[in-house]
């Protein structure tokens, strides 16, 4: 018997996904656990494993196509299974579903003479419980205004989106990139990937809800560079990165300043027991912050090993949600781009993010002498709801002392 | 132990008070209700319930004519109105006992006596016993309004209470006021053969209802020989031994009618006096207690709901307001006040009238682009089969979105039919949703479906 292969939630927050690549072609057989396709979710690309031993009879969502969780993406079964019934059922559903893309528009609304199809708010039909609940009136108004219902929080019974919510909705606070300089040539409109949408949403949420303030200072990296060089020379088989060292020393500093390793909970402040540090990693089409868990309990070499694996996975879109959610503190390092110093946006649930600039040899005054030292500027962005100026400054002072003299962290 | 005797004391056990008390008890509060009369309030004892009992019996009486049309010889000579009256009292008594039982079942103390609020948390009953509560809910309801010149003696000049208490029928009656209560009594009296003169100061009976709806009722009344006088001011010109000479003044020459009794149904007066409100600084406006969000008065912790505040004087409104108030006390609710466009109104004459939201006229006045469709009952097979084809289902919608702004039904079972449309409106369903739903055939509900289809321009049976 042929069956529908439904899109499943591949990460806890996934509502829909884009089929990145089909690994199995129509007519090919597969066994349980085989990778059927790659699905780009809100954060990363996940592998869709085969639930059964069977043959892929028909692909319903082609590469590049989107499907909401619960929506059929393919039909599978035994070779030769009859699938016309399923296809007809799906077709009919599409035709009668008031939310399906303009299906039956002419019949439903005979006097709507506009030739241009109206943008549809979304396609929520699914057999699982994850469809967006909105009243028919809210859907209609959203459709007319071209508002994506997924961006609206419902205030009706059970979180249902009602007319009031659609009317109160203000189109995204993210400014659109448009130019008013009259130059010829067409601007390119790039449709938002799921990842872009999530990044935009999360970062604006953080920036607009957490009052940020910034603390900058420079640390003399002479000793740390020396220590790392010596270690790496002694262990050529397991060289450690500067990021691993900085991460470890940061964790040590956080242990002494637990108020920085905390989060705003609207009615309370939660101090985290462990220090999970995220590291911002650039990807082709966005960025992600994989994290090393319980950094305070790990050795630098261990941290470094984990970082290597995580960064590799991040670059190849292979992180699992567990590997990129829940950082209690984040480090962003743009040193290798030659950036001298910068400020970063806090990555929730953390309340602070450390922005590291390039290590630069510059003249500094020590004991009234001008000497050349490798200095690194670092800026801490703090959520003022959790961290006050003096607390942040204390932490930076400790961190600076550890970076300048790693031995101090052992005391 | 709490510093007060109760978490909540409710004053009045009408549909506002007793429902609030039960809801509060469900939410974990320790509740008492103070009632000076029978539990159930006006609604159960002297309003909705006995009047509906009389209406149902009146309707059965009219079936005599239908039976005669089948050639059956009927003899109404043994007709005894007192047994009709007794049945209506029995219904009231049964339900009042039922309320008492429900209160007990929910562990709510029923304190008998007249309550007066003597402090922010203190209530005095019958002038001596004192009770304290963290919150107080005033649900004291209303009483028939007296108009000068028509003071009730409940013998010749009757209030609705007096009319419900009649054990014999008069030969003729003038009903002053053609609101819901007035027309319902007109229907009752007329059905039992009493000569009815229905007098209204405004320009139509049921002046607040949809005009087309009240017109149909007026037509039905006229057919049954109810005399209707609109835009007319009535006064008693003479008290006679057999009744009254009533003077009816319109533009031209005054008219005089002789009637045995007069029923005055021109609104209600809120029971806000003798409650001690002045001492606490609780504000009233023409007697109605003023309330803000969640029906809290100007004194925090003291709430007022039902007929004693200036919202539609309906039992279901009183109950809903009470639920909102106590849910707020319990920190549960989110609704601030009843949305007036979601209140169904019902008139239990034959034909019945029911509606909610904007009438066609009010929608225009409010500036909506309006689309209206009215489906006549005669297009519904069932209505024709049961010989009840006078009536219609009218939908008032927003012209662009088709949002349901209001609905008005006249005809058989209108008061039941309205709820499908109200549910649609409340959950923001659209006419197209009702239009697409299968309705059993033959039913009167098909008229609702057809009206919805009419809005979508594809009604079948027109
Ligand atoms: C003839 C008639 C027909 C009606 N038909 C309908 C209908 O079909 N549908 C509908 O929805 N509505 C109808 N109504 C209206 C309905 O009865 C009222 O809206 C409803 O009763 C209001 O409820 P309430 O709880 O606010 O007040 P009430 O029902 O008036 O109850 C108030 C209670 O408080 C008590 N009380 C007052 N003061 C004190 C005090 N100081 N101490 C102790 N107790 C006190 C009173 O004795 C009374 O029992 C009708 C009314 C009438 C008169």
Q: Which of these, A108, A94, A367, A272, lies nearest to B431 by C-alpha position?
A: A108
Q: Is the pLDDT of residue A91 over 90?
A: no
- Using the mean position of ligand 1's atoms as its centre, give its distance from the Cα of residue B271 in Å: 10
Task: Specify the residue with its C-alpha closest to ligand 1, atom 17.
Answer: B43
Residue corresponding to tokens 């009240």: B214
Please give the Cα distance from B95 to B122 (Å, whole number): 30
| A138 contacts chain B (CB < 8 A) | yes
**Contact by Cβ (8 Å): A225, A374:** yes
B400 interaction partners in chain A (CB closer than 8 Å): 144
Residue corresponding to tokens 């949809």: B210
Q: Which helix (H) or strand (E) holds A72?
A: strand A72-77
**The two structure tokens encoding residue B390:** 């006078």
Please give the Cα distance from B165 to B85 (Å, whole number): 7
The more confidently predicted of residues B300 and A179 is B300
pLDDT averaged over every residue in chain B: 96
**SS3 for B368-403, per residue?**
CCEEEEEEEHHHCHHHHHCCCCCCEEEEEEECCCCC
Instruction: Report which listed range, A64-68, A78-82, A316-320, B448-452, is most confident.
Output: B448-452
Q: Is B297 helix (H, G, I), strand (E, B) or coil?
A: coil
Q: Which CA distances in Å does A357 have to A245, A354, A372?
A: 15, 10, 17
pLDDT above 70 covers a percentage of chain A that reads 87
Task: Tell me whether residue A384 is one of the annotated catalytic residues.
Answer: yes
Residue of B402, B427, B458 with shortest CB distance to A135: B427
Q: Is the pLDDT of residue A179 over 50?
A: no
**What's the pLDDT tens digit per position in A184-226?**
567 787 888 888 888 898 899 999 999 999 999 999 999 999 9
The more confidently predicted of residues A118 and B379 is B379
A138 interaction partners in chain B (CB closer than 8 Å): 428
Q: Is the pLDDT of residue A98 over 60?
A: no
Give the mean model confidence (pLDDT) for residues B131-153: 97
Ligand 1 pocket test, pick from B40, B42, B127, B137 with the greatest ligand atom count within 8 Å of Cβ, gives B42
β-partners of residue B398 are: B370
Interface test with A, best of B397, B428, B458 (most A CBs within 10 A): B428
Q: Is the pLDDT of residue A102 over 90?
A: no
Please give the Cα distance from A98 to A100 (Å, whole number): 6
Q: How far is A254 from chain B (nearest CA, A)?
A: 40
DSSP B252: S
Task: Specify the residue with its C-alpha closest to ligand 1, atom 19.
Answer: B314
Interface test with B, best of A112, A137, A156, A167 (most B CBs within 10 A): A137
Please give the Cα distance from B68 to A410 (Å, whole number): 108
| A111 contacts chain B (CB < 8 A) | yes
Q: Which CA distances in Å does B359 have to B96, B214, B257, B364?
A: 35, 12, 34, 9
Please give the Cα distance from A18 to A41 (Å, whole number): 7
Strands A66-68 and A72-77, bridge-based pairing: unpaired
Please give the Cα distance from B340 to B357 (Å, whole number): 7
- Using the mean position of ligand 1's atoms as its centre, give its distance from the Cα of residue B141 in Å: 5
Q: Is the pLDDT of residue A118 over 70?
A: no
Give the pLDDT score at A111: 40
DSSP B99-159: HHHHHHHTT-EEEES-EEEEETTEEEETTTEEEEEEEEEE---EEEPP-TT----SSSEE-
Say whether B401 and A140 touch across the interface (CB within 8 A): yes
How many residues are given for chain A? 411
Q: Which residue on chain B is closest to A112 by alpha carbon?
A: B400
Please give the Cα distance from B417 to B410 (Å, whole number): 10
- Is the backbone peptide bond immediately before B413 cis, with ω within 30 degrees of 0? no
Q: Is the pLDDT of residue B68 over 70?
A: yes
Ligand 1 pocket test, pick from B14, B117, B178, B353 with the greatest ligand atom count within 8 Å of Cβ, gives B14
DSSP B342: G
| A144 contacts chain B (CB < 8 A) | yes
β-partners of residue B354 are: B346, B409
Residue B330 has a CB neighbour count (10 Å cut-off) of 17
Helix orientation angle between A300-315 and A242-256, rounded to the nearest 10 degrees? 120
Please give the Cα distance from B248 to B235 (Å, whole number): 7
**Contact by Cβ (8 Å): A375, A221:** yes
Give the pLDDT score at A96: 56
Q: Which CA distances in Å does A8 have to A11, A128, A259, A302?
A: 9, 9, 39, 34
C-alpha atoms less than 13 angstroms from C-alpha of A251 in its C-beta half-sphere: 25
Please give the Cα distance from A330 to A322 (Å, whole number): 16
Say whether B428 and A110 touch across the interface (CB within 8 A): no
Q: How far apart are the first and last CA of chain B?
A: 68
Name the region of B427 (left: φ>0; alpha: ψ -120 to 50; beta: rest): alpha
Residues of B in CB contact (< 8 Å) with A are: 400-403, 427-430, 432-433, 457-458
B457 interaction partners in chain A (CB closer than 8 Å): 110-111
Residue of B400, B429, B432 with shortest CB distance to A108: B432
Ligand 1 pocket test, pick from B21, B41, B58, B188 with the greatest ligand atom count within 8 Å of Cβ, gives B41
Q: Which helix (H) or strand (E) holds A255?
A: helix A242-256
DSSP A173: S
Q: Is the pLDDT of residue A125 over 50?
A: no
Give the pLDDT score at B349: 97
Helix orientation angle between B48-69 and B81-105, rounded to the nearest 10 degrees? 140
**Contact by Cβ (8 Å): A264, A212:** no
Return the biggest CA–CA distance within chain B: 74
**What's the pLDDT tens digit per position in B177-204?**
999 999 999 999 999 999 999 999 999 9
Please give the Cα distance from B162 to A303 (Å, whole number): 90
Please give the Cα distance from A95 to B74 (Å, whole number): 60
**SS3 for A277-298, per residue?**
EEECEEECCEEECCEECCHHHC
DSSP A209-229: HS-EEEEEEEEE-HHHHHHHH
DSSP H helical ranges for A97-135: 105-108
Give the rounded distance of the alpha carbon of B250 from its chain centre. 28
Residue B276 has a CB neighbour count (10 Å cut-off) of 16
Give the pLDDT score at A109: 40
The more confidently predicted of residues A120 and B243 is B243
How many residues are given for chain B? 462
The more confidently predicted of residues A113 and A7 is A7
Please give the Cα distance from B316 to B338 (Å, whole number): 11
A50-54, A379-383, B94-98, B357-361: lowest mean pLDDT where?
A: A50-54
Q: How far is B335 from chain A (nearest CA, A)?
A: 11
Say whether A136 and B401 touch across the interface (CB within 8 A): no
The more confidently predicted of residues B451 and A198 is B451
Say whether A137 and B457 touch across the interface (CB within 8 A): no
Q: Which of these, B169, B193, B197, lies nearest to B183 by C-alpha position?
A: B197
Instruction: Indicate whether residue B45 lines ligand 1 (CB < 6 A).
Output: no
**A294 Cβ neighbours under 8 A, 6+ residues apart:** A274, A275, A276
Instruction: Indicate whether residue B271 lines ligand 1 (CB < 6 A).
Output: yes
Give the pLDDT score at B244: 97
- Using the mean position of ligand 1's atoms as its centre, give its distance from the Cα of residue B300 in Å: 25
Q: Which of these, A240, A321, A254, lies nearest to A294 by C-alpha position?
A: A254
A15-29, B103-117, B248-262, B296-310: lowest mean pLDDT where?
A: A15-29
> What value, to the nearest 5°, has the Cα angle with vertex B157 and ends B207 and B87?
85
| A141 contacts chain B (CB < 8 A) | yes
| A95 contacts chain B (CB < 8 A) | no
Say whether A136 and B457 touch across the interface (CB within 8 A): no
Instruction: Indicate whether residue B36 lines ligand 1 (CB < 6 A).
Output: yes
Q: Which residue on chain B is closest to A162 by alpha carbon?
A: B428
The more confidently predicted of residues A156 and A12 is A156
On whether the pTM is more than 0.90, the answer is no
Backbone angles phi, psi at A54, to 5 degrees: -170, -170
Please give the Cα distance from A333 to A232 (Å, whole number): 21
Q: Is A91 helix (H, G, I), strand (E, B) or coil?
A: helix
Q: Which helix (H) or strand (E) holds B229?
A: strand B227-229
B402 interaction partners in chain A (CB closer than 8 Å): 140
Task: Specify the residue with its C-alpha closest to ligand 1, atom 51.
Answer: B47
Residue corresponding to tokens 């020393």: A249
Provide the pLDDT confidence category of residue A385 given band limits of 50, 70 and 90.
very high
Please give the Cα distance from A294 to A240 (Å, whole number): 18
| A153 contacts chain B (CB < 8 A) | no
- Using the mean position of ligand 1's atoms as its centre, give its distance from the Cα of residue A227 in Å: 87
Q: Is B270 helix (H, G, I), strand (E, B) or coil?
A: strand
Q: Is the pLDDT of residue B82 over 50?
A: yes
Backbone angles phi, psi at A374, to 5 degrees: -75, 105
- Using the mean position of ligand 1's atoms as its centre, give its distance from the Cα of residue B140 in Å: 8
């Amino acid at each position: 018997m042929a069956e529908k292969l439904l899109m499943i939630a591949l990460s806890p927050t996934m509502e829909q996904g884009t089929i990145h690549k089909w690994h199995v072609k129509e007519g090919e057989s597969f066994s349980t656990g085989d990778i059927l396709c790659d699905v780009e979710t809100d954060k990363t690309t996940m592998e869709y494993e085969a639930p059964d031993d069977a043959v892929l009879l028909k692909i319903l969502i082609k590469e590049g196509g989107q499907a909401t969780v619960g929506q059929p993406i393919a039909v599978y079964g035994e070779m030769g299974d009859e699938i016309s019934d399923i296809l007809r059922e799906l077709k009919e559903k599409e035709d009668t579903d008031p939310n399906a893309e303009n299906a039956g528009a002419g019949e439903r609304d005979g006097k709507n003479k506009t030739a241009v199809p109206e943008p549809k708010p979304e396609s929520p039909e699914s057999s699982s419980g994850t469809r967006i609940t909105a009243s028919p009136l809210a859907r209609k108004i959203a459709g007319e205004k071209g508002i994506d219902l997924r961006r609206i929080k419902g205030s009706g019974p059970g979180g249902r989106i009602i007319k009031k919510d659609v009317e109160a909705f203000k189109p995204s606070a993210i400014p659109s990139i448009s130019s008013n300089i009259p130059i010829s040539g067409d601007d390119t409109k790039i449709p938002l990937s799921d990842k872009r949408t999530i990044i935009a949403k999360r970062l604006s949420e953080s920036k607009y809800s957490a009052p940020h303030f910034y603390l900058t200072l420079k640390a003399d990296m002479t000793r740390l560079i020396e220590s790392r060089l010596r270690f790496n020379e002694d262990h050529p088989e397991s060289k450690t990165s500067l990021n691993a060292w900085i991460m470890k020393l940061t964790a040590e500093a956080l242990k002494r300043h637990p108020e920085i390793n905390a989060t705003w909970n609207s009615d309370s402040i939660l101090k985290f027991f462990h220090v999970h540090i995220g590291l911002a990693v650039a990807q082709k089409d966005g960025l992600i912050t994989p994290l090393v868990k319980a950094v305070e309990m790990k050795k630098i070499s261990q941290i470094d090993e984990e970082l290597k694996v995580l960064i590799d996975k991040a670059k190849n879109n292979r992180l699992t949600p567990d590997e990129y959610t829940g950082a209690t503190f984040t480090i962003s390092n743009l040193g290798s781009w030659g950036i001298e110093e910068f400020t970063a946006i806090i990555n929730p649930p953390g309340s602070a993010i450390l922005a590291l600039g390039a290590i630069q040899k510059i003249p500094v005054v020590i004991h009234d002498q001008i000497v050349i030292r490798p200095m690194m500027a670092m800026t801490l962005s703090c959520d003022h709801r959790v961290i006050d100026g003096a607390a942040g400054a204390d932490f930076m002072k400790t961190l600076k002392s550890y970076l300048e003299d790693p031995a101090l962290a052992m005391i | 132990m709490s510093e007060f005797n109760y978490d909540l004391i409710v004053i009045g056990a009408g549909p506002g008070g007793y429902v609030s008390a039960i809801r509060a008890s469900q939410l974990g509060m320790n509740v008492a209700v103070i009632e000076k009369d029978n539990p159930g309030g006006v609604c159960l004892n002297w309003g909705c319930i006995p009047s509906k009992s009389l209406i149902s019996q009146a309707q059965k009486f009219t079936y005599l004519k239908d039976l005669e049309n089948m050639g059956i010889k009927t003899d109404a000579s043994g007709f005894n109105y007192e047994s009709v009256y007794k049945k209506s009292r029995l219904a009231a008594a049964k339900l009042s006992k039922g309320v008492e039982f429900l209160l007990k079942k929910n562990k709510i103390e029923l304190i008998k006596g007249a309550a007066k609020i003597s402090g922010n948390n203190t209530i005095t009953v019958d002038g001596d016993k004192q009770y304290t509560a963290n919150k107080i809910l005033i649900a004291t309801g209303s009483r028939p309004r007296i108009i000068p010149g028509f003071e009730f003696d409940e013998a010749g000049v009757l209030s609705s209470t007096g009319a419900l208490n009649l054990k014999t029928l008069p030969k003729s009656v003038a009903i002053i006021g053609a609101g819901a209560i007035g027309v319902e009594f007109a229907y009752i009296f007329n059905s039992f053969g009493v000569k009815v003169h229905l007098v209204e100061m405004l320009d139509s009976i049921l002046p607040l209802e949809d005009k087309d709806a009240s017109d149909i009722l007026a037509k039905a009344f006229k057919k049954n020989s109810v005399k209707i006088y609109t835009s007319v001011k009535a006064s008693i010109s003479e008290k006679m031994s057999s009744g009254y000479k009533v003077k009816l003044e319109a533009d031209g020459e005054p008219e005089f009618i002789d009637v045995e009794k007069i029923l005055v149904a021109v609104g209600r007066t809120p029971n806000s006096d003798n409650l001690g409100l002045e001492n606490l600084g609780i504000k009233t406006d023409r007697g109605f207690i003023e309330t803000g969000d969640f029906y809290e008065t100007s004194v925090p912790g003291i709430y007022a709901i039902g007929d004693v505040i200036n919202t539609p004087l309906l039992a279901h409104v009183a109950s809903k307001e009470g639920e909102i108030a106590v849910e707020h006390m319990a920190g549960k609710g989110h609704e601030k006040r009843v949305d007036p466009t979601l209140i169904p109104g019902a008139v239990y004459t034959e034909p019945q009238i029911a509606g909610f939201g904007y009438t066609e006229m009010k929608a225009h006045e409010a500036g909506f682009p309006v689309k209206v469709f009215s489906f006549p009952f005669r297009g519904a097979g069932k209505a024709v089969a049961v010989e009840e084809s006078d009536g219609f289902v009218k939908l008032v919608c927003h012209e662009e979105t088709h949002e349901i702004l209001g609905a008005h039904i006249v005809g058989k079972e209108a008061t039941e039919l309205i709820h499908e449309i109200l549910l649609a409106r409340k959950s923001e369903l659209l006419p197209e949703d009702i239009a697409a739903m299968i309705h059993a055939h033959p039913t009167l509900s098909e008229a609702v479906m057809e009206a919805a289809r009419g809005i979508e321009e594809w009604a079948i049976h027109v």
